[in-house]
Amino acid sequence: MPRTITARARLALGIATLLLVPGCATVPPPEEALRTDRARSPAQLFGPLFAQVQMRQLFADGKTFVDAVPRHDPQAILADYRAHTPRTDAALRAFVLANFDLPPAPSSVVDQPARPTRPLLAHIRALWDDLARPPVVPVPGSSALEFSGAHVVPGGRFREIYYWDSYFTMLGLREDRRQDLIEGMIDGFVGLVERHGHVPNGARTYYLSRSQPPFLYAMMDLSDARDPAVLARRLDALIAEHGYWMRGGRVVRMPDGSLLNRYWDDRDTPRDESYREDVETARASTRPPATVYRHLRAAAESGWDFSSRWLSDGRTLATIDTTNLVPADLNSLLYGLERAIAARCRALARPCATPFERQAAARRVAVERWLWDEAEGRYGDYDRKARRIRPGVSAVTAYPLFTRLASEARAARVAATIEAKLIAPGGLRTTTIATGQQWDAPNGWAPLQWIAADGLLAYGHDGPARKIAVRWVGTVQRGYASSGKLVEKYDVETVRPGGGGEYPLQDGFGWTNGVTRAMLSRWGIGD
């Protein structure tokens, strides 16, 4: 149910009051930060040139052109294009190659298998330096965003740092005592919040209109920082991030008046990096294109792009309706964020703990009321149109355990559901439905393995937690033994590399390395 004008005004007043509490925030609110940010995406910079390159599929991967670096002033390039518009694909390609430096093509997972030359654990340790990058100072006109710390990228086509990936990468960095990279990544994300009002999906201009699942507070728990000035700056960033999520389209008023959140994107155009794919999806739908684009972008903010979770018919991407849903993962993480802010306020003797404690308590009540399915013993996503939990068991049910929101009784129900329906021969299933989308069966993903196993363990359900960890590590080990690679996702039904999605399988791979390394340590599985 959409919020009324009165509800909007009340919410805005509440946030404004919170931001005025002494010591609560010094980072400018998102709207102010974005007004001063002049970064424009490639679609905004290059208009008709951009559309032609993407729609004519000049490059196999839609991310290639958006990561290219212009050799001249973008306005001059666009003016030249308009004055001498290339008529053929060959001429257009020649124009692009004359005016842009393209990123190097990532290596293929499938075409270059190799027997490993070192044990898995040694390979993961070596990969940290392979995937590490220095601070980023963007070239004018490029899509790169400034990132002030040394950091680790996922790998493959993902050449820049990504938000939620980084937490799971840091789990492995922590085990391997790479605190230098952990602190650099946290500081870089704090810098993004200070410049843009939030952590973008990734460090690119075309990601600025959305974020990703808010794990920054959890990253800070992996830090060794003790300097009060550093801690104060980080607290300010968390408060600013919370403000970002509590504004505009990301806030939903539930039927009882409580406030929860949904995934959203501030733009309703095709994603720069998947422009052609989004246009084709919109054409296959009967709805206005802008509506479809907003739902696609919101799903990208969730990190689950794409999944049957977001499809109104449970099968077809053209039916995507992400913003109609109130998701259990996002609201669990925001509960964790609110509790973390309250704890940090108290630790720094700031008078901002109580408001966030109250928000966390209210969110917990709302999650337990609206996002719990008693009949199926699971948490899920509330469908605002159907006024019920959307059908379909998924790994999202583990999030309230991961953030310690769930009661002991409900955690026990979730543990039984996970064991009965989601644990596969190779680890945790993402969903139980096979649609061809990459965030569906038969795929399993490293972050979801950790979230479920950690959450189950926290509530004393050691059996299923260990089963997930052992099976996942076994899947990764098997894949490594046959190819010498660690990849972004795996088929946990047949215990092999995964498939589906908008692009070929990528290797590297940050969060797989991090979660596997952390599981090897926590569960003593052995290499």
pLDDT at 504: 86
Question: In terms of domains, do 89 and 201 share one?
Answer: no
Residue in the structure block whose two tokens are 């980084």: 166
pLDDT at 376: 98
Catalytic residue among 305, 321, 373, 507: 305
Residue closest to 250 by CA, chosen among 197, 286, 289, 204 = 197
Catalytic residue among 236, 278, 381, 488: 488
User: Kind and range of the H or E element at 259?
Assistant: strand 259-261
Q: pTM higher than 0.75 for the full model? A: yes
Question: In terms of domains, do 339 and 235 share one?
Answer: yes
Q: pLDDT exceeding 70 applies to what percent of the chain?
A: 91
Question: In terms of domains, do 2 and 88 share one?
Answer: no
What are the pLDDT digits (tens) for 273-292?
999 999 999 999 999 999 99
pLDDT at 419: 98
Higher pLDDT, 1 or 404: 404
What are the pLDDT digits (tens) for 426-435?
999 999 999 9
pLDDT at 10: 34
What are the pLDDT digits (tens) for 115-150?
898 999 999 999 999 999 999 999 999 999 999 999
Question: 6 falls in which pLDDT band (50, 70, 90)?
Answer: very low
The answer to the question of residue 126 being in a domain is no
pLDDT at 38: 58
Asked if residue 37 lies in contact with residue 195, where contact means CB atoms within 8 angstroms, the answer is yes
Asked if residue 519 lies in contact with residue 469, where contact means CB atoms within 8 angstroms, the answer is yes
Q: How far apart are CA 282 and CA 263, in angstroms?
A: 19
pLDDT surpassing 90 at residue 20: no
User: Kind and range of the H or E element at 444?
Assistant: strand 443-445
Q: Is the peptide bond before 442 cis (omega within 30 degrees of 0)?
A: yes
Asked if residue 180 lies in contact with residue 128, where contact means CB atoms within 8 angstroms, the answer is no
Which residue segment(s) compose the domain that 251 sits in? 1-36+160-262+327-370
Chain center to CA of 295: 15
Question: In terms of domains, do 180 and 257 share one?
Answer: yes
- State residue 428 phi and psi, 5-degree precision: -90, 125
Catalytic residue at 376? no
Q: Are strands 382-383 and 388-389 parallel, antiparallel or unpaired?
A: antiparallel
Catalytic residue at 273? no
Q: How far apart are CA 75 and CA 95, in angstroms?
A: 15
The answer to the question of residue 394 being in a domain is no
Q: Any idea which of 15-19, 155-159, 247-251, 274-278 has the lowest mean pLDDT?
A: 15-19
The answer to the question of residue 226 being in a domain is yes
Instruction: Report the amino acid identity of residue 488.
Output: E
Helices 89-99 and 74-83, axial angle in degrees (round to 10): 150
Grouping H, G, I as helix, E, B as strand and the rest as coil, residue 144 is strand
Question: In terms of domains, do 54 and 18 share one?
Answer: no
The answer to the question of residue 348 being in a domain is yes
Mean pLDDT of all residues belonging to the chain: 92
The answer to the question of residue 307 being in a domain is no
Question: In terms of domains, do 46 and 11 share one?
Answer: no
Q: pLDDT exceeding 90 applies to what percent of the chain?
A: 88
Question: In terms of domains, do 223 and 342 share one?
Answer: yes
What are the pLDDT digits (tens) for 293-334?
999 999 999 999 999 999 999 999 999 999 999 999 999 999
- In the chain, how many domains are there? 2
Asked if residue 223 lies in contact with residue 341, where contact means CB atoms within 8 angstroms, the answer is no
The answer to the question of residue 457 being in a domain is no
Question: In terms of domains, do 170 and 225 share one?
Answer: yes
